[in-house]
Amino acid sequence: MTKRIFITATNTDIGKTYVTKLLIRELTELGHRVGVFKPIETGVSDLPIDGSALLEVIQHHNKAMEHLTVDDIVPIQYVLPAAPFVASGGESIDMQKIDKALEKIETLCDIVLIEGAGGLMVPVDSELMMIDLIDHFKAKALLVTHCRLGCINDTLLSLNALKNAAIEHEWTFNCREDDNTFSEVSEPYFLKKDISTYHISRDLNDLAKALIKA
């Protein structure tokens, strides 16, 4: 059975697509046939930006996916850059369409990276939140968190949500060049609490191995 890893984040614009692309490369170098899938993308005026970037990278690393289109990678697309519930006008999400699209991807890989939209509590429709999709897919989660002021609160809230939902997960910091106060104002908390952390910039190989560990 294909192993599913769901990449989520503490909010939007945290670096899910960036981290997913890094993991495609790293897992491929570890000898796996990797696939990628983004069930829903909003803010699509022409082509899905994130989905197109993911398709380009996956087709480079997995030749079996060269015939796929961006619509295969992103089956549900909305124009309005908002939560799917809002972008769809409150319509129910077509999970059968999503599941069928994922099945097609999984015939071409042994690990599939599934990128969510926004954070865990983003409403997908009137019944489902993004965190519910992780459970639906029976996936292991990777939480990507930022390094700006406020990351302690954002990280702990998301980790608590994953824990309460009994979702197996790993998590990583995605620090950017301008996050120059992180080591002074946020990282000391995690170090003093002896909370084991990954940093995507230095621990990519270890993180990839942890994600695929049984």
3 is catalytic: no
In a domain, 15, yes or no: yes
Mean pLDDT of 55-80: 98
Straight-line distance from the first to the last Cα atom of the chain, in angstroms, rounded to the nearest whole number: 12
> Is the residue at 183 inside a domain?
no
Average pLDDT of the chain is 96
Is it the case that residue 79 has pLDDT exceeding 90? yes
The domain that holds 105 is classified in CATH as: 3.40.50.300
Examine residue 182 and state whether it is found in any structural domain, yes or no.
no
Other Cβ atoms less than 10 A from the Cβ of 188: the count is 12
Give pLDDT, residue 1. 77
Residue 214 lies in a domain: no
The active-site residue, picked from 3, 16, 21, 38, is: 38
Please give the average per-residue pLDDT across 51-78, as a whole number. 98
Q: Fill in the DSSP letter of residue 65.
A: G
Domain count, the chain: 1
Helix (H, G, I), strand (E, B) or coil at 119: strand
pLDDT in tens, 7-47: 999 999 999 999 999 999 999 999 999 999 999 999 999 99
At 43 the pLDDT is 97
Domain around 51: 3-129+138-147+164-176+188-209
